[in-house]
Structures are given as C-alpha cells and as structure tokens.
Amino acid sequence: MSAAPANEPTFRQSVDLMFNRAAALMDLPPGLEEKIRVCNGVYTVRFGVRLRGQIQTFTGYRAVHSEHMEPVKGGIRYAPSVDQDEVEALAALMTYKCALVEAPFGGSKGGLCIDPRDYDEHELEQITRRFAYELIKRDLIHPSQNVPAPDMGTGEREMAWMADQYARMNTTDINARACVTGKPLNAGGIAGRVEATGRGVQYALREFFRHPEDVLAAGMTGSLDGKRIIVQGLGNVGYHAAKFLSEEDGAKITGIIERDGALYDPSGLNVEKVRDWLIRHGGLTGYPEANSVADGEAVMESDCDILIPAALEGVINLTNAHNIQAKLILEAANGPITAGADDILRSRGVVIIPDLYANAGGVTVSYFEWVKNLSHIRFGRMQRRQEEARHQLVLDELERLDHAMGDAWNLSPSFKDKYLRGADELELVRSGLDDTMRTAYQSMREVWHGRNDVTDLRTAGFIVAIERVARSYRAKGL
C-alpha cells in the first residue's frame, strides 16, 4: 500500500498509466504493447519461522515483470507496506529502468511484508534465510535466472545471507556469488555499490545542469552550487545523494524529512551529523542543531529549488501536488509521484527527473557486480600497475626533456601523483556509472527536445525504454 490517498489509482495502475501515455505516442502493434505492459508472473509465499517460542507466519513475493532478457533483476524490500500491487509496480519499473540504462536484464522485484525494526539481527537472519530458501527452490534467486539486490529495509547484510543460502543449496555452482548483488565486499560485492544509487542521483543532477536550456525549463540558471535541496528519507539513497551533493557540488540541503518529522535550515544542514543522530536515536526528533518540524509532509511543500523524495511511493499525490514549490523534482525513490500528481506538476511547469532514470545507479552498479562475479576477478586487477608503468614512462621522458632544456619548467607534484595512479575498482565503477547516467540522460533528452508531442522527461524515458524492450521482443520473433 502506498502513501497515496485511496481515491487515486494504485501504484501499479499509476505505472501503467505512465506507460500508456508513452505507448500512445508510439507505433507498437497492440498485442506487443499489452505484452510489454503486463507482469509475467508473481509468486506469493507464506512461510513459518519459530521465533520467541512460537511460529510466526510471513508473507513474501517475487514478481517477474518481463523476461525479454534474463536474468531478471530487482531488489527485495522489507516493509509493512509490501503487497502484490507494490511488487508488480516495482518490477515493471525495473524493466523500463534496465532498458533505459542498457543493463541487460528483465525486470523483477521482491518483498517481504515485515517491519525489520521489530526483529533483532539473529531473527532477521532466520527469516531472511527461510525466505531465500523458498525463492531459491523455485529459481527465483539464481545467477542466470533472477538476481535480487537491496531495496528499502534491506542492505548488504541481508544480501550476504541470501548469497550464502544459495551457495549452501547449490554447492557445485561456480557462479553462486552472482545470485544476488549488493553483497559486502568480502562476500563477493563490488566497491561503490552501497553508495551507487545516491551517487547516480548526483551524476543525474550534474548531467541535467550541464544543459542550460533544461535548467531554464525548470526556472533556474547556473550550476548546482548554492541550490537549495529538500530530501525526504535519509536512508541509503537519500543519505548518499544529500552527502555528495552538499559536500562535492556546493548544494545546500535545507530540509530533511523522516518518518517522525523534519529538519529545516535555510543555511543548509550538516548531512553527516543528521545521519549520525538518526542512526543513534532512530528518528530526527531532538536533533539540536536545526529547527524541527513535527509535520514532515509540510516541509515537502516549502520553498526550495530541488525536491528529492527518497523514501517511498505515492508521497506526492492529488492532495499536495498543487502546493509543491520546488521547480525541479528528482525521483530518487520509486514511484514517489502518482500519475495524477504528475499531470498537475507538469501543467504547472515543474520539471521531473523520473525514477526509471534517476535511481538507476543502483541497478547499474549491480550489473557491474554481477559481471565481476561471473568473471571471478576484481575490476582493474590486471591493468592497474601496467597503466601506472606506462604513465611513469611518459613522466620520465618529460623530465628528461625538461632536464635537457635546462630545467625550464616543472610538473606540479599533484599532477604527477594523480597521473601516475592507475584506476582501482572504485574509480572504474564510478566512471562506468557516470558514463551510464550521462548516456541515458542524452537518450531521454533527444526524445524530450526532438519530438513536439513529448513535453516531459518521464514520457521520453518510457519511450526510449519501451522501444528497446519492443526491439528485443521483435528479435525473438514476437
């Protein structure tokens, strides 16, 4: 169940409405359009785990939206809101997201209807291993069929348990580690996965601000420097996005909204300190260094340049869309804007950087992790020192020439250090992510500016994604 009011379409219907708006502008055979839109299948499992002396029953789902490419990919969410409609909506978004950023996967998503804060670590491990067992048995976790990743309420720890569960059940599978992504580094993970979605948000905004016409369309000028940003949800995605944008791009995080209220400071909040407080106290209440506002929702409507919803779906809906003052909204969460709110915001000229693009950093780096697991070698391991040796040759030659010319000029020491250092895995991952975010933005932008009948980035993104999925189905003879 999303945060949207009951009089609005469900999350899945909302995604379908957005799909339909794009598909109406395309020339797809009607049968193919329907084939792409519908969810291929959803598996529901109810399982019991003995906890605190009695058996508790849990309900979990794994939806597979499209298998035009395999494996299918998508996170596993732990939240009380999880239901079939939600996982189907999220699985559909995964299909379009993977197509848009050219990650060679179909779309999937899973969820367990549980509030993880109600259980201790040992209990969560028991529950997770049992849920994973049910999915593994049916190839719904499998390196070449279905590869989960973290989502709301799950992280590296849960992915490590799932990977270990798969390895225990498939002792001879040499590619076992590729069965889930988002694992810790020491369990087959990749450098930069934890920060990836937030980092992708930063790269998406940087790319947006490289195009003055796009910035102007959102009623702004200049760069990210000094822009006022409000973030909802300081979890994995929101925290990393807020941290990078404030520390590296000069943006000011003027508002942070969490479950128990919000903090507001026009001169900019210290993201690290707020995050530290949130982790230690489980909420923002009592944070001493900023104005706190009990009604968090109201802060979403306050004056700012960029609004980044990074918590859950349906938070910008028919009841508040008219009041949102941000000129640019970046959907770091999946589905934070309902289809109805999207209509209102577009008619008001608000520019929206849509979820299928904006939060694709996670799946992009998951793709790199999966490739790393299948190739059984860390990125950069073969090239790094060789690259450094070649750079050293160039520097030695420059210094020899300089000496021959009577020491006329000197290379600055910082240049030498930077130039000499071969790229490690983290640098390569960031480079691949940056390239992906830039390329995907360009492909959406071409449609946004290139067609008279497309007036927003979401429709453009859907058109690019649907076209790619359609091409892949056509190649299979469908």
Binding residues vs ligand NAD (CB under 6 A): 150-153, 197, 232-238, 257-259, 296, 310-312, 332-334, 359, 362
Q: Which of 366, 227, 235 has the alpha carbon at shortest distance from 306?
A: 227
Phi first, then psi: what are they for 232, rounded to 5°? -105, 120
DSSP letters for 14-30: HHHHHHHHHHTTS---H
Give min distance, CB of 177 to ligand NAD, in A. 18
Nearer to ligand NAD, 141 or 311 (CB): 311
CA distances in angstroms from 180 to 21, 153, 162, 382, 397, listed in the order given: 33, 16, 7, 25, 47
Distance CA 128, CA 290 (A): 38
97 is catalytic: no
Nearer to ligand NAD, 196 or 217 (CB): 196
Tokens of 5: 């009011």
Distance CA 276, CA 286 (A): 13
Torsion of CA 431, 435, 437, 440, to 10 degrees: -160
Nearer to ligand NAD, 231 or 470 (CB): 231
Give min distance, CB of 448 to ligand NAD, in A. 22
Q: Would you call 211 exposed, middle or buried from its count of C-beta atoms within 10 A (0-12, 13-18, 19+)?
A: middle
Give min distance, CB of 289 to ligand NAD, in A. 19
Distance CA 284, CA 259 (A): 8
228-232/252-258 β-pairing: parallel
Nearer to ligand NAD, 45 or 356 (CB): 356
Nearer to ligand NAD, 279 or 393 (CB): 279
How far, in whole angstroms, is CA 296 from its chain's centroid? 23
Give min distance, CB of 99 to ligand NAD, in A. 15
Q: Would you call 264 exposed, middle or buried from its count of C-beta atoms within 10 A (0-12, 13-18, 19+)?
A: buried
Give min distance, CB of 198 to ligand NAD, in A. 8
Catalytic residue among 73, 97, 109, 372: 109
CA distances in angstroms from 22 to 25, 37, 87, 180, 239, listed in the order given: 5, 11, 22, 32, 32
CA distances in angstroms from 113 to 13, 28, 87, 324, listed in the order given: 20, 37, 11, 31
CA distances in angstroms from 313 to 107, 146, 176, 343, 409, listed in the order given: 18, 24, 33, 16, 58
CA distances in angstroms from 342 to 16, 31, 115, 345, 359, listed in the order given: 13, 27, 29, 5, 17
Give min distance, CB of 68 to ligand NAD, in A. 21
Give min distance, CB of 278 to ligand NAD, in A. 7
Nearer to ligand NAD, 246 or 359 (CB): 359
- Residue number of the CB closest to ligand NAD reads 235
Q: Which residues are catalytic?
A: 109
